[in-house]
Chains A and B, each alone.
Chain A
Amino acid sequence: MIEVHNIQKAFNGNPVLKGITCTFETGKCNLLLGGSGTGKSVLLQCIVGLMKPDLGSITFDGLVFTNNKVDIKQEIRRKIGMLFQGGALFDSMTVYENTEFPLKMLTPEMSKEERRDRVEFCLKRVGLENAGTKMPSEISGGMKKRVGIARAIAPNCTYLFCDEPNSGLDPQTSIKIDELIYEITHEYGITTVVITHDMNSVIEIGDHIIYLHKGQKLWDGNKDEILNTTVPELKEFIFSSSLVRAAKKVDEEAQGGLAAATTDEAINI
C-alpha cells in the first residue's frame, strides 16, 4: 500500500499540488484521473522520487520514502517498476536487452541462465516472445508499451506506475494494454498506479479511482460509483467524453422508449 499524505508542490510560486492525501491499495489498479494540468504527472513524479515535494510524506508499505536515508530510498526504488508515456526504452539496446537491463543492474547474483529464463518469461507474458532481437526503433508504439511493461515487471516489482499507458495508441491497442496492466496487477498482487484521462480505462480497469482537479483530490471511489458521482467537476469531466455521452444518449433513448411503451399499454388497459 502506498500512502500519500498532504503532498504540496509549487513551481515559481504557482501551486500545482495543494495538499493531496490519498492511498493506493495493494493488489488493485489505482487510477489517477484528471484533465491536463491538474497535477497527475507531478504527483506521480513525487511518488517515484523524480521530484521532491515541498511538503508532505509518501510511505511505501510503512517505509517512509520522502526525506529518508538514501539506502532506504534505494531499497524502495528497487521495488518500483515504471511504464513511461513514450516507453522510455533504451535506444541502443534490443527488446531483449531492455528487458534484461534491470535484472543485470539490480540482481547481480542472478546467473545468466536465470536472467534469460526470466526475460523470456516476461516477454512471453506481454506477447512479445518473438520480438527480442528487434530494436526499439523497429517496433510499434503499442509494442514499446509492452516492452516497457516487461521491463518493469522483470525484477518482480512490488509497485507498478504507468504514466498514461494509452497515449498515442489506437482504441483496440489501448484496451489490450489496459487488460495487460489489469491482469498483471491481479496476477502478481502488485500495487499499480495508472495516470489516465481516458474514460475507457476508468471503466475497464478502475478498481480504485482518485480524481484530481486543480491540484486537489476531489473524489475517490471505484468504477461502479464514478458514474453516479455528485461532484460537478467530475461529472463535467466524465460527460466531456464523447463515448460516455453517446452511451448516455442511447440509455436515455432506451428509457424513453420504455416509458412510451408503458404509457401506451396503460392507455390500452
Chain B
Amino acid sequence: MVKTFGEFLIFMQSMLVRKERFKVLWQRMLDEAILIGIDSVFIVAIVSAFIGAVTCVQIAYNLINPLIPKSTIGFMVREMTILELAPTITSIVLAGKVGSSIAGGLGTMRITEQVDALEVMGINSASYLVLPKIVAAMLMFPLLVILAMVLSIMGGYLAGTLSGAMSAQEYIEGIRTDFVPYNIVFALIKSVVFAFLVSAISSYKGYYTKGGALEVGAASTGAVTNSIIAILLADYVLAAVLL
C-alpha cells in the first residue's frame, strides 16, 4: 500500500518534468476535454434529473406532518443536491465512465507498445498522455457538476409538480429559502478534488498495465473501484474540513 502510494507520487512528479510545448499540451487538453466533458453530458443529465426527481418524491412521501410547510421539500432537494448529490454522485458516475475509459485507453496503449513508441521518440509519455487528461478533468468536472445541480433541481420541480405533491410556487419558494452561496463553492471545490482523484488514479492504473487484454480489463475495474473509494474518503475529509 505504502509502496503503491510512493509509486503514485513518483508518477505524478514524472508528469511535471520534461513537459512538452504548451501548444501541444493545450491541443491535447482540448481533445481530452471533449472526451471527458462533452461526451459525458448525456449520462450526467439523465442521472442528475432522475436523482432530483426521486429525491423530491421520496421527501414528499416522508414529509406527512401538516405543520411542516410543503416548501421544505424544495429546500431539502436544493440542499441535498448542492451539497452532496450533484458533486458526489456525478463524480461517481464519471469515475465509471471516464475512469474506465482513461485506464482502458492507457492500458491498451501500454500493451500495444504505443507508450514505448513515445518514449523512444524522446517524448515524456506521462506528460504528453496523462497531464492533459488531469487538467481537462479538473476543468470539466465542475462544469458537469453545475449542470447536474441545475438539472437535478429541475427534475425535482417536475416530479413535485406533476405528481401533485406540491405547487410550483411552493417548490420555488423552498429552493430560494436560506440560500448559502458558500455551499456552491464547497461543491465546486469537491468536484475539482474528485476530478483529480478520478483522472490521476485511473491514469496510474492504466499507465502501469502489464500483460494483455485481461490485464487491461483488470486495470479498468481497479481504476473505477479505487476512484470511487477515493471519492468517498475525500468527500468525508472535505466535509469535515470545509463545513
Indicate whether B21 reaches chain A with its CB closer than 8 angstroms: yes
Contact present for A50 and B24 (CB under 8 Å):
no
Contact present for B116 and A91 (CB under 8 Å):
no
From B18, B112, B122, give the contact of A106 (CB < 8 A). Answer: B122
Query: Which A residues lie within 8 Å of B121 (CB)?
Result: 77-78, 80, 102, 105-106
Q: Can you name the residue of chain B whose Cβ is closest to the Cβ of A82?
A: B120
Contact present for B119 and A86 (CB under 8 Å):
no
Known: A86-B112, A90-B114. A105 touches B120 (CB 8 A): no
Interface string of A78-114 (1 = CB under 8 A from B): 1010101110111100000000001011101000000
Q: Which of A239-264 contact B (CB under 8 A)?
A: none
Contact present for A49 and B18 (CB under 8 Å):
no
Query: Which A residues lie within 8 Å of B114 (CB)?
Result: 88-91
Contact present for B120 and A85 (CB under 8 Å):
no
Contact present for B20 and A88 (CB under 8 Å):
no
Indicate whether A48 reaches chain B with its CB closer than 8 angstroms: yes
Query: Which A residues lie within 8 Å of B117 (CB)?
Result: 82, 84, 88, 90
Indicate whether B123 reaches chain A with its CB closer than 8 angstroms: yes
Query: Which B residues lie within 8 Å of A49 (CB)?
Result: 119-120
Query: Which B residues lie within 8 Å of A86 (CB)?
Result: 112-113
Query: Which A residues lie within 8 Å of B20 (CB)?
Result: 105
Indicate whether A173 reaches chain B with its CB closer than 8 angstroms: no
B interface residues, Cβ below 8 angstroms from A? 18, 20-21, 24, 108-109, 112-114, 116-117, 119-123
Contact present for A77 and B120 (CB under 8 Å):
yes
8 examples of A-B residue contacts, CB within 8 angstroms: A70-B18, A74-B18, A84-B117, A88-B113, A88-B117, A91-B112, A106-B122, A161-B120
Total A-B Cβ pairs within 8 A: 47
| CB of A108 to closest CB in B, whole Å | 6
Query: Which A residues lie within 8 Å of B120 (CB)?
Result: 48-50, 77, 80, 82, 161
Interface residues on A, range: 20 to 34
| CB of B90 to closest CB in A, whole Å | 26
Known: A105-B20, A105-B24, A108-B21. A74 touches B113 (CB 8 A): no
From B21, B108, B116, B122, give the contact of A74 (CB < 8 A). Answer: B122
| CB of A190 to closest CB in B, whole Å | 15
Given known contacts A78-B121, A90-B114, A91-B109, what 9 new A-B pairs fall within 8 Å (CB)?
A: A70-B18, A77-B121, A88-B114, A89-B114, A91-B108, A105-B20, A105-B121, A105-B123, A108-B21
Give the distance in Å from the alpha carbon of A2 to the alpha carbon of B113 in the complex: 23
Give the distance in Å from the alpha carbon of A70 to the alpha carbon of B122 in the complex: 10
Contact present for B116 and A50 (CB under 8 Å):
yes
Contact present for A84 and B18 (CB under 8 Å):
no
Q: Can you name the residue of chain B whose Cβ is closest to the Cβ of A76?
A: B122
Contact present for A77 and B122 (CB under 8 Å):
yes
Most A Cβ at <10 Å: residue of B108, B109, B121: B121
Give the distance in Å from the alpha carbon of A86 to the alpha carbon of B20 in the complex: 26
Query: Which B residues lie within 8 Å of A77 (CB)?
Result: 120-122
Query: Which A residues lie within 8 Å of B113 (CB)?
Result: 84-86, 88
Give the distance in Å from the alpha carbon of A102 to the alpha carbon of B120 in the complex: 11
Query: Which B residues lie within 8 Å of A106 (CB)?
Result: 121-122
Give the distance in Å from the alpha carbon of A85 to the alpha carbon of B114 in the complex: 11
Query: Which A residues lie within 8 Å of B18 (CB)?
Result: 70, 74
Give the distance in Å from the alpha carbon of A74 to the alpha carbon of B119 in the complex: 10
| CB of B185 to closest CB in A, whole Å | 37
Give the distance in Å from the alpha carbon of A88 to the alpha carbon of B125 in the complex: 14
Interface string of A57-88 (1 = CB under 8 A from B): 00000000000001000100110101011101
Give the distance in Å from the alpha carbon of A104 to the alpha carbon of B28 in the complex: 13
Give the distance in Å from the alpha carbon of A161 to the alpha carbon of B20 in the complex: 24
Query: Which B residues lie within 8 Å of A82 (CB)?
Result: 117, 120
Q: Can you name the residue of chain B whose Cβ is closest to the Cβ of A102?
A: B121
Give the distance in Å from the alpha carbon of A210 to the alpha carbon of B117 in the complex: 25
Give the distance in Å from the alpha carbon of A70 to the alpha carbon of B117 in the complex: 18
Query: Which B residues lie within 8 Å of A161 (CB)?
Result: 120
Query: Which A residues lie within 8 Å of B116 (CB)?
Result: 50, 84, 88
Give the distance in Å from the alpha carbon of A108 to the alpha carbon of B121 in the complex: 14
